[in-house]
Structure 1
Amino acid sequence: MAMNYVPLDKAVHKDIKLSTKNDFAFTQNTHLAAASIREFAQLAGAIPMVFIKDEQTGNHHTVCMLGIEKESNLYFAEGRWQAPQVPMNIQRYPFDIRPDNGNLGVFIDDASTLITDDGAPLFTAEGEAADLLKNRLEFLDFLANSERLTQEFITKVVELDLLTEIEIRMVTDAGERRAITGMLSIDENKLFNLPDEEILTLHKKGFSGAIYALMMSLSQLNRLVELSNKTDKPIRSLQIVNLAAEAAAKAKALAEKEAEAADKA
């Protein structure tokens, strides 16, 4: 679905009406969605979350894994959302906060299918924000603040070198084996070996809970397996592998084998 975000303007959009139904059909081709820190705890019980790195900018982001295949959202099926929680970056649609002439402004996707003739108006007859728009603007403000805190959290996690590259190894119902790469997660060993003062800093900033929520969310990969069984590409199993830990284990095993061979010689 092609999107066309434009600055929200009451003169231009005074007659627009928005559907009040929870219609998330626009997400059906979305396999990753941004996740922000103030929703980590709620999302952890329903959707797996990982870190990704933008290779062009070097920036890291926290995202929800909505599917394994690109452009395929397992959490939207049979015309409805398949989890009790919906990421805030999906809930905000068709609105967004974006740079606008040096400032941040409210934008709307004026090509959205959520814009309908029988929806609720964005503006009153006097040109003021209607209740629906007021609620959405309040939500956008909350989300923007959460995203700022998320960036502070990510900066700290990267600074402490807590991230490690992971690989998800998939076996399909047909027996095909694939590896999904390009993701990072919190390294438990690095976390547990942090100096006490750094652990205290994370706790005081409220970041400890966020870290554990992200780690715990990976158990929801089983949910992706379950949801895939409703599709024509069912998954038999998904396994998370810490690549650094795996490499270290292989190196240790090789060293032990070589030492044993040397002793026998």
Structure 2
Amino acid sequence: MTSSRHALLDNATHRDLTVASGAGAQWGDGVMGCLVVPSEFRAVAAHYPIVFRRDGQTGRFAPLALFGFEQGENLFLHQDRWDAAYVPLAHAVQPFLIGRTRHEDDVPQVHIDLAHARVGAPAGQRLFDETGAPTPYLAAKAEQLGALDAGWRDTAAFLDALERHDLLEPFTLEVPLAEGSTRSLVGYHIIAEDRLAALDGAALGDLNAQGYLLPIYMAVAALGRFPDLMARRGRG
């Protein structure tokens, strides 16, 4: 397991710190997928399949964007290039993360994982300028962190609504391999389209009033990205 070393980011301690901003397996981009939040489902669905995975310990579901079909496989990563116009927030913000105090109303703070491979790269982006002010790069990351934090705050209620209406069902996909065999993608759930179509007007109205219908339909549409993902694997 990769170790981490989180610290509150400040312009004195981290005045000269740099962070690699490019793509590459050496920066931690060689991953099968990442968590996503409903507020970004429209952007995610343009490039990646969206599935749901149940945590074996908590029993809670979490939405994921898939980049590949097995651990360590990112079919969007081509050496130093990420072949998609959008990178999901939870991955794009690395090595930064939100830090919170014990008081829920306090302003979230920007933390950094000093053990992350991107931190300290010689040709990386500076986080603070000569005056100690945040650089445009850090400002953009802080904005992404804010969007991710707001999205996570809304995700639990969204997932509760999916379970309340029984809108998640197990999903299995057979992935063809180069030598002619197949690999089964298992352990995930997707939106149950037949149950969604069978919802009555009251249920649909409730989901729409809460702003959940759009991300639900985006999650359904995102399943159409699986053929592209398989084609990427076939191209090797």
> Which band: TM-score by shorter chain?
0.7 to 0.9
Q: 2:183 aligns with which of 178, 181, 185?
A: 178
Match of 2:113 in 1: 109
Q: Root-mean-square deviation (CA), in Å?
A: 2.2
Deviation at 1:174, TM superposition (A): 1.6
Is it true that 1:79 corresponds to 2:80 in the alignment?
A: yes
Match of 1:60 in 2: 61
Match of 1:142 in 2: 147
Please tell me whether the aligned partners of residues 36 and 88 of structure 2 are also in contact (alpha carbons under 8 angstroms): yes
Aligned residues: 230
In our comparison, the structure showing a higher alpha carbon Rg is: 1
Question: What is the rounded CA distance, in whole Å, between the counterparts of 2:126 and 2:102 in structure 1?
Answer: 27
Matches within 5 A, 1:87-166: 87-98=88-99, 105-114=109-118, 115-166=120-171
Structure 2 gap segments, 5+ residues each = none
Structure 1 gap segments, 5+ residues each = 232-265
Question: What is the rounded CA distance, in whole Å, between the counterparts of 2:218 and 2:169 in structure 1?
Answer: 16
Question: What is the rounded CA distance, in whole Å, between the counterparts of 1:113 and 1:69 in structure 2?
Answer: 22
How much identity, in percent, do the aligned residues show? 26
Deviation at 1:47, TM superposition (A): 0.7
Query: So what's the TM-score if we normalise by structure 1?
Result: 0.78
Deviation at 1:52, TM superposition (A): 0.4
Deviation at 1:32, TM superposition (A): 2.0
Deviation at 1:14, TM superposition (A): 2.3
SS at match of 1:229: helix
Question: What is the rounded CA distance, in whole Å, between the counterparts of 1:132 and 1:208 in structure 2?
Answer: 34
1:128–1:163 distance in 2 versus 1, CA, 3 Å: same
Deviation >3 Å, runs of 4+: 98-105, 117-120, 124-131
SS at match of 1:89: helix
Please tell me whether the aligned partners of residues 97 and 140 of structure 1 are also in contact (alpha carbons under 8 angstroms): yes
Please tell me whether the aligned partners of residues 75 and 83 of structure 1 are also in contact (alpha carbons under 8 angstroms): yes
Q: 1:230 aligns with which of 226, 230, 235?
A: 235
Please tell me whether the aligned partners of residues 96 and 106 of structure 1 are also in contact (alpha carbons under 8 angstroms): yes
Please tell me whether the aligned partners of residues 3 and 109 of structure 1 are also in contact (alpha carbons under 8 angstroms): no
Q: Give 1:4's aligned amino acid.
A: S
Question: What is the rounded CA distance, in whole Å, between the counterparts of 1:24 and 1:96 in structure 2?
Answer: 20
Is it true that 1:188 corresponds to 2:193 in the alignment?
A: yes
Match of 2:219 in 1: 214
Q: Give 2:149's aligned amino acid.
A: A
User: Which deviations, in whole Å up to 9, do the C-alpha atoms of 1:36-60 show, x marking residues without a partner?
Assistant: 1121112212111100000101111
Please tell me whether the aligned partners of residues 28 and 72 of structure 1 are also in contact (alpha carbons under 8 angstroms): no
Query: So what's the TM-score if we normalise by structure 2?
Result: 0.87
SS at match of 2:73: coil
Matches within 5 A, 1:230-249: 230-231=235-236
User: Which deviations, in whole Å up to 9, do the C-alpha atoms of 1:169-220 show, x marking residues without a partner?
Assistant: 2232322133221100111121122221110011122211111110111111
Q: Give 1:50's aligned amino acid.
A: V
Match of 1:244 in 2: none
Please tell me whether the aligned partners of residues 27 and 76 of structure 1 are also in contact (alpha carbons under 8 angstroms): no
User: Which deviations, in whole Å up to 9, do the C-alpha atoms of 1:113-137 show, x marking residues without a partner?
Assistant: 4333343432344544344323322
Deviates more, 1:38-47 or 1:4-13: 4-13
